């Protein structure tokens, strides 16, 4: 059987009762224990939560009835009357006693002393009741009130003491009578204070009283129970009885387990007896080791977590510092490279523009030489064209000659045929041999005529081919002449463009020189370059407002042109360059030659 398996009794505590604070916090709770029961509202309310089955009836809540208000008003009036009577009687007796016996010198000083004591008591009582009503009670203020009230009781009793004889029973009764009214007033004040406490702090109204019969039957154990109830805020007397029964049953179980020798029990098993004076139940005391171990493990885990977090933060800080250092170095190198690049770009751009102008001039000279060569090629083409026309005329003549020869051959063929027929008719009487000879001759003549006709046809085809070749040569000559004219026009255009580029390069060079002399910043140089691009592209800003200048500039100069000319990749930067260039042009910036 383990520690937590001890036999349960019929008076088992409520299982829903929460355990008190961890054992490690017990000293703090003990040291913070208030001096009186009235200072433990939190303990009392917690006890009530832990003991929902208490038999104490709950006081009904709600607005006061008219009769209740009337009763409260009557009590306050009678209390004030009693206070006035007590102050009057106390004032007279204390003032007289202070003048005669306390040697205050004069009756007026004795009266001031009595007034000061009574007013001080009333002020402190009023403050005590007010702070209790505001749920901010000042506990220690009650002790000076009790002390001063006791002093007034003693002074009032002493004022009735005989001066020149021994005390008698009547003297004791008189001294007691002098102190009755102040004591009665203090009792009423305490009742009023407790009533206010019950109204504003309802958790205090469920506190049970220990029955009188228990004080009589158990005079030694009952004070211990009373002390625990008041010290640890146990409001329920039945709950306290159940705790005592559980403790006794557990102790008997340990004795039975170890044959009556509790010294054999372990420290954990003896915890309920050790922690009972501190308000712990048996179950709570037995659960303490597990709670402490769990709390210790939690503290170790928390310490390990904090250590790991500290290590992580340290590593993160080191890496962040390293990253910031590298970033700063990178920014420094970037700024240095950008400055050097801008300086070199400005000089290189100026040199490039001058070099471009020189190359454009060289291209112009080459274009002029090309134009001369084009004119020579045009003359050669014209001569070739005339030669082709001559060849075409010769081909036509050859063609006509071939036609004539073919017609003559045809006529000769017809004549030969006629001669053969005539010879056949004339020589019908000739011999077979002569006829055959003539026939062979005629066939030979016919073959010769056909061959001649074929030769004439071949010559005609050759003449036709020659004519087509002449036409193709003429067409090529005209095409070459057109190409040369186009080349000449392109050369003229290139020459004009070269002149424009030369002028633009000269303007750009002079602008760069002026910007160098003015020591402008790189951004100002870029903005002026964009403005010159817009003006060179045909922007005419005369008489235009700034918005119109901006619109026209956006039409002739695109974002891509600005990025390419200014060597920037950001479209936002290029857009800002165009806006600033428009402002610059609207302010009167122009190209200077």
- What HEC string does 200-251 produce? HCHHHHHCCCCCHHHHHHCCCHHHHHHHHHHHCCCCCHHHHHHHHHHHHHHH
Lowest-confidence range among 194-203, 441-450, 580-589?
A: 194-203
What local confidence, expressed as pLDDT, does residue 295 receive? 92
Residues 14/250, Cβ–Cβ less than 8 Å? no
How far is 98 from 112, CA to CA, in rounded Å? 10
Residue 516 has pLDDT above 50, yes or no: yes
3-state secondary structure of 268: coil
* CA angle in degrees (0–180, nearest 5) for 352-357-358: 95
As a 3-state breakdown, the chain gives helix, strand, coil percent values, each rounded to 5, of 80, 0, 20
Please write the tens of the pLDDT for every residue from 468-486: 877 888 787 787 777 778 7
Residues 28/293, Cβ–Cβ less than 8 Å? no
Residues 557/537, Cβ–Cβ less than 8 Å? yes
Residue 303 has pLDDT above 90, yes or no: yes
How far is 379 from 374, CA to CA, in rounded Å? 9
Give residue 171's Cα distance to chain centre. Answer: 88
Residues 388/474, Cβ–Cβ less than 8 Å? yes
Q: What is the mean pLDDT of the chain?
A: 75
User: When comparing pLDDT for 512 and 147, which is higher?
Assistant: 147
Q: Give the tokens for residue 91.
A: 């004032």
**What are the backbone angles phi and psi of residue 357, rounded to the nearest 5°?**
-65, -45
Helix axes 282-426, 522-536, angle to 10 degrees: 30
Please write the tens of the pLDDT for every residue from 406-425: 777 787 777 777 777 766 66
What local confidence, expressed as pLDDT, does residue 59 receive? 47
Residue 383 has pLDDT above 80, yes or no: no
Q: Give the tokens for residue 502.
A: 């030369």
Q: Give the tokens for residue 396.
A: 């036509």
Residue 112 has pLDDT above 60, yes or no: yes
User: When comparing pLDDT for 64 and 73, which is higher?
Assistant: 73
**What is the separation, in whole angstroms, between the first and last Cα of the chain?**
112
DSSP 440-484: HHHHHHHHHHHHHHHHHHHHHHHHHHHHHHHHHHHHHHHHHHHHH
Question: Whole-prediction pTM value?
Answer: 0.31
With bands split at pLDDT 50, 70 and 90, how would you rate the model's confidence at 50? very low
Please write the tens of the pLDDT for every residue from 7-45: 444 334 443 344 444 333 333 333 333 333 333 333 333
With bands split at pLDDT 50, 70 and 90, how would you rate the model's confidence at 56? very low
Lowest-confidence range among 25-29, 257-261, 268-272?
A: 25-29
């Amino acid at each position: 059987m383990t520690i937590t398996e001890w036999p349960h009794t019929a008076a088992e505590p409520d299982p829903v009762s929460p355990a008190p604070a961890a054992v490690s916090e017990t000293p703090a709770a003990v040291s913070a224990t208030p001096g009186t029961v009235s200072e433990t509202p939190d303990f009392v309310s917690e006890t009530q939560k832990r003991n929902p089955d208490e038999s104490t009836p709950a006081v009904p809540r709600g607005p006061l009835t008219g009769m209740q208000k009337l009763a409260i008003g009557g009590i306050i009036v009678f209390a004030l009357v009693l206070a006035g009577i007590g102050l009057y009687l106390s004032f007279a007796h204390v003032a007289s006693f202070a003048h005669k016996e306390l040697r205050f010198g004069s009756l007026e000083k004795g009266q001031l002393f009595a007034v000061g004591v009574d007013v001080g008591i009333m002020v402190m009582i009023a403050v005590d009741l007010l702070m209790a009503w505001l749920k901010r009670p000042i506990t220690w203020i009650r002790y000076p009130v009790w002390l001063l009230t006791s002093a007034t009781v003693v002074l009032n009793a002493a004022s009735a003491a005989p001066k020149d004889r021994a005390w008698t029973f009547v003297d004791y009764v008189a001294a007691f009578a002098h102190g009755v009214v102040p004591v009665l007033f203090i009792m009423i004040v305490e009742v009023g204070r407790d009533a206010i406490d019950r109204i504003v702090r309802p958790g205090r109204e469920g506190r049970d009283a220990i029955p009188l019969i228990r004080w009589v039957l158990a005079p030694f154990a009952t004070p211990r129970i009373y002390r625990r109830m008041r010290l640890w805020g146990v409001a329920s007397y039945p709950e306290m009885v159940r705790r005592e029964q559980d403790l006794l049953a557990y102790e008997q179980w340990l004795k039975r387990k170890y044959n009556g020798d509790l010294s054999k029990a372990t420290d954990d098993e003896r915890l309920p007896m050790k922690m009972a004076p501190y308000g712990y139940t048996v179950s709570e005391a037995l659960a303490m080791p597990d709670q402490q171990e769990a709390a210790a493990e939690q503290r170790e885990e928390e310490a390990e977590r904090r250590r790991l977090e500290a290590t992580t933060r340290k590593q993160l800080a080191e890496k962040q510092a390293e990253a910031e250092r590298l970033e700063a170095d990178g920014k420094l190198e970037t700024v240095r490279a950008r400055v050097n690049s801008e300086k070199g770009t400005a000089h290189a751009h100026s040199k490039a523009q001058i070099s471009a102008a020189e190359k454009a001039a060289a291209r112009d000279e080459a274009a002029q030489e090309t134009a001369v060569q084009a004119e020579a090629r045009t003359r050669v083409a014209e001569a070739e064209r005339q030669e082709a026309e001559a060849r075409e005329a010769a081909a036509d003549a050859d063609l006509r000659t071939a036609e004539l020869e073919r017609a003559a051959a045809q006529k000769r063929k017809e004549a030969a045929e006629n001669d053969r027929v005539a010879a056949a008719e004339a020589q019908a009487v000739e011999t077979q041999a002569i006829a055959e000879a003539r026939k062979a001759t005629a066939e030979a003549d016919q073959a010769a005529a056909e061959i001649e006709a074929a030769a004439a046809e071949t010559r005609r085809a050759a003449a036709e081919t020659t004519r087509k070749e002449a036409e193709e040569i003429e067409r090529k000559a005209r095409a070459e002449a057109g190409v040369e004219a186009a080349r000449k026009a392109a050369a003229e255009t290139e020459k004009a463009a070269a002149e424009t580029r030369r002028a633009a390069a000269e303007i750009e060079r002079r602008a760069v020189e002026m910007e160098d002399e003015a020591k402008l910043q790189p951004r100002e140089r870029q903005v002026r370059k964009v403005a010159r691009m817009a003006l060179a592209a045909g922007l005419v800003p005369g008489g235009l407002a700034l918005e119109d200048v901006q619109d026209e500039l956006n039409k002739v100069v695109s974002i891509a042109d600005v990025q390419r000319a200014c060597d920037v990749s950001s479209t936002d930067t290029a857009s800002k360059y165009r806006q600033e260039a428009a402002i610059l042009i609207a302010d009167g910036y122009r190209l200077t030659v």
